[in-house]
């Protein structure tokens, strides 16, 4: 019996050494992109308060097989008062691999399998685009997509804090895309 346990532990050690944890392997494959902007590059004005304030299209791939749903949080850590939430959308079905441009600003988004939206720091539902103070320099907008191993049983209009509490212990993988914006 000791030989079998030792062999199993040795095999696990080799797996972890070669690939890291399964979560690390999933993180390496999970990626988020947008046809509107490249990572760490400027976002077009149409996605800002100076334009149509339309959410950008987002696409992802490489989610772990254990994914049951997705959640997305977009925030601006460069905001004068600290991290400012621009978008919360969750209960996105596991079969979904993209969000279209200009997602409806409603509690529930029928076109996305009844995904739900939370409250932004603008005090509204749905996406609120970049709108940094004029002359405040470049701001970075972090779109963080979470692959979850559960379906969240949350109503619409939750806060970031409520969503993060519900996701705790259920994040199978996460990925990030950063867009920049400045107003002079």
The per-residue pLDDT for 27 is 58
The per-residue pLDDT for 100 is 98
Q: What is the side-by-side order of every strand in the sheet holding 115-117?
A: 41-42, 171-181, 139-148, 69-76, 84-93, 115-117, 108-109
Pairing state of beta strands 171-181 and 84-93?
Answer: unpaired
- Where in the chain does DSSP place strands (E)? 31-33, 41-42, 58-61, 69-76, 84-93, 98-99, 108-109, 115-117, 139-148, 171-181
The per-residue pLDDT for 8 is 33
The per-residue pLDDT for 184 is 87
Residue 11 CA, chain-centre distance (Å), reads: 34
Please state, in angstroms and as integers, the Cα–Cα distance from residue 11 to each residue in 14, 15, 18, 23, 124, following that order.
5, 6, 11, 18, 51
The per-residue pLDDT for 13 is 38
| Each residue's pLDDT tens digit, 119-137 | 999 999 999 999 999 999 9
The per-residue pLDDT for 98 is 98
- pTM of the model as a whole: 0.86
Give the residues of the chain that fall short of pLDDT 50. Answer: 1-19
Phi, psi for residue 86 in degrees, rounded to 5: -105, -20
Domains of the chain listed by start with CATH number: 21-181 (3.90.280.10)
């Amino acid at each position: 019996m000791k030989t079998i346990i030792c062999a199993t532990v040795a095999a696990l050690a080799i797996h972890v050494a070669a690939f890291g944890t399964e979560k690390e392997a999933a993180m390496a494959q999970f990626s988020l992109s947008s046809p509107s902007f490249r990572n760490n590059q400027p976002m077009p004005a149409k996605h800002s308060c100076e334009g149509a304030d339309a959410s950008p299209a987002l696409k992802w791939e490489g989610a772990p097989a254990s994914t049951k749903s997705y959640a997305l949080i977009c925030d601006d850590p460069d905001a004068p008062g600290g991290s400012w939430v621009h978008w919360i959308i969750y209960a996105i079905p596991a079969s979904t691999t993209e969000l279209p441009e200009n997602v409806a600003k409603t509690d529930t988004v029928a076109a996305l399998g009844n995904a739900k939206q939370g409250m932004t720091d603008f005090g509204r539902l749905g996406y609120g685009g970049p709108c940094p103070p004029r002359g405040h320099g470049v701001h970075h907008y972090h779109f963080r997509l979470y692959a979850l191993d559960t379906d969240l049983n949350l109503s619409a209009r939750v806060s970031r804090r409520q969503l993060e509490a519900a996701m705790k212990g259920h994040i199978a993988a996460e990925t990030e895309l950063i867009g920049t914006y400045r107003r002079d």
